[in-house]
Amino acid sequence: MADMKLYDAMRTLRAVRRLRPDPIPEDVLKRIFEAATWAPNGGNRQPWRMIAVRDTAVKKRMGELYTAHWAPYAANYARGLAKMSEDEAAKHRRTIAAGDYLAAHMYEAPVLVVVCFNPAWLAVTDAQQDRVSVVGGGSVYPAVENLLLAARSEGLGCVLTTLLCAEEPEIKQLLGIPAEWGTAAMIPLGYPLGQGHGPISRKPVGELFFNGRWGAPYP
Ligand SMILES: Cc1cc2nc3c(=O)[nH]c(=O)nc-3n(C[C@H](O)[C@H](O)[C@H](O)COP(=O)(O)O)c2cc1C
């Protein structure tokens, strides 16, 4: 069993969008899925289910639906590059190229994991606030992160995607998802075609954490 150091897995869990079609051994998949079940969630109701999609025709349709949303998103993204330095723009162009690849080759990923949730089972403590509610997702996405980290640890490539959520009605029909359930994410899983995961670029602690009070520098 692949058992990376947790911190190494976390700091190299970048988006991997180019995947090989080679199958993933069942025991590997089972370990990754079990890691997802360990995630914390409100009231321990585990208000999520995941569907491992392997059927090529279904994956092809998912790829088409995904592309319909990726293409305008990527075009808009590309327009924003004009304002960047050449170095920055080159980095983002690589991301767009990887995204184009994922959209066009979605069906080649051996497994597409569709994450579903039951809104009636979510603990939503911010429902009354005058803003978009996010707490409900906290009972779903930790399971997704556990799955991603376990996939990373097993040497699999993966990326959390949400563009397909815009096509929820057709995805539900395609996969027989009951009316009362929604979709939260889709994760293509497969062995990386290229380098795979590696160092990530994120803001430092000093920018994201405060000390005792909003705005007070940490540490
Ligand atoms: C909520 C969420 C939704 C995302 N949706 C998509 C998506 O639909 N397609 C995609 O290619 N990447 C998607 N991503 C991946 C992000 O683009 C990626 O994590 C981010 O750009 C950082 O890239 P890095 O992890 O490679 O550094 C999503 C990530 C998150 C957390």
- Give a yes or no: residue 77 inside a domain: yes
- Give a yes or no: residue 218 inside a domain: no
The Cα–Cα gap between 62 and 50 comes to: 15
CA of 95 to the centre of ligand 1 (A): 10
Long-range CB contacts (within 8 A, 24+) of 120-127:
120/180, 121/45, 121/47, 122/42, 122/47, 123/42, 123/43, 123/45
Among residues 111, 80, 115, the alpha carbon closest in space to that of 95 is found at 80
CA of 212 to the centre of ligand 1 (A): 30
pLDDT, residue 1, reads 62
* Residue of 141, 152, 159 to test ligand 1 pocket, by largest number of atoms within 8 Å of CB: 159
- Give a yes or no: residue 129 inside a domain: yes
DSSP-derived pairing of the beta strands 182-190 and 48-53: unpaired
| Domain housing 48 | 6-208
pLDDT in tens, 169-182: 999 999 999 999 99
Q: What φ, ψ does residue 207 adopt, rounded to 5°?
A: -90, -25
CA of 161 to the centre of ligand 1 (A): 6
Ranges of the chain whose pLDDT falls below 50: none
The residue contributing the CA closest to ligand 1 atom 6 is: 161
The residue contributing the CA closest to ligand 1 atom 29 is: 160
- Give a yes or no: residue 67 inside a domain: yes
pLDDT, residue 57, reads 98
pLDDT, residue 4, reads 87
- Give a yes or no: residue 199 inside a domain: yes
- Give a yes or no: residue 219 inside a domain: no
79: domain CATH number is 3.40.109.10
* Total domains present in the chain: 1
pLDDT in tens, 136-190: 999 999 999 999 999 999 999 999 999 999 999 999 999 999 999 999 999 999 9
What's CA 62's distance to the chain center, in Å? 15
The residue contributing the CA closest to ligand 1 atom 10 is: 161
